[in-house]
Amino acid sequence: MSTHDHEHDHDHDHGPTDEATEEATEEARRDAERELRKRLALSQVRQYGDPVLRMRANEVNVFDAELERLVERMTALMHDAEGVGLAATQVGVARRFFVFEHDGVDGVLVNPVITKSGGEPDLDEEGCLSLGTVRVPVERATEVVIEGQDATGADIRYEFEGMPARIVQHELDHLDGVLILDRTDPASRKEALAKLRPRLLLSTR
């Protein structure tokens, strides 16, 4: 009996159980594809120990097609890596810009500057695409006004509160060579470094 014959004989037998199995199989396939995309994306993000993560990025003076391509590539990487922000230094580019997502909309800030910050300081855990599974408590301003330019060089200004404010502060830190490890308390930093050192040793072999 061929596979085709077997399928033909049972065409009329498909029921809820078969449909549920097919849905579960499809969901498992999508999850596997998403995990693969995430791994591939993270392999292109510089990880703790890379010197570029400690560099202060240079101002962007040229707004051209190359910059727009970089922004598109970084935005795709951010989504594939399941992040909400990605700074240029995290992909080895020492230029002052980062991409981010806010309310389902992608954004970019070139030469960003926080011109005002306030609100009640908030202490919350943060993770980072360059630090694996490490999460540490970081205190941030809950309200910021941040100004800069878009990928074409046009001036832009955002007023953010809550999580979006935290995201842009985190990404701006990257452009100054600052990591969340530098902004957390000593005990959390020690614990995070204990997790990161084995990865650092493996990456240098």
Catalytic residues: 171
The alpha carbons of the chain give a radius of gyration, in whole angstroms, of: 22
Structure tokens at 172: 């701006």
Sorted by sequence, the CB contacts under 8 Å of residue 172 that are 6+ apart come out as 98, 112, 114, 146
Q: What strand order describes the sheet that includes 143-149?
A: 85-87, 97-102, 105-118, 143-149, 155-161
Inter-CA distances, 62 with 32, 58, 130, 148, 153, Å: 40, 12, 27, 14, 8
Query: Any residues with CB less than 8 A from the CB of 101 and at least 6 apart, and which?
Result: 78, 79, 84, 85, 107
Contact 179, 53 (CB under 8 A): yes
At 29 the three-state DSSP class reads: helix
What pairing do the DSSP bridges indicate for beta strands 97-102 and 85-87? antiparallel
Structure tokens at 191: 């614990």
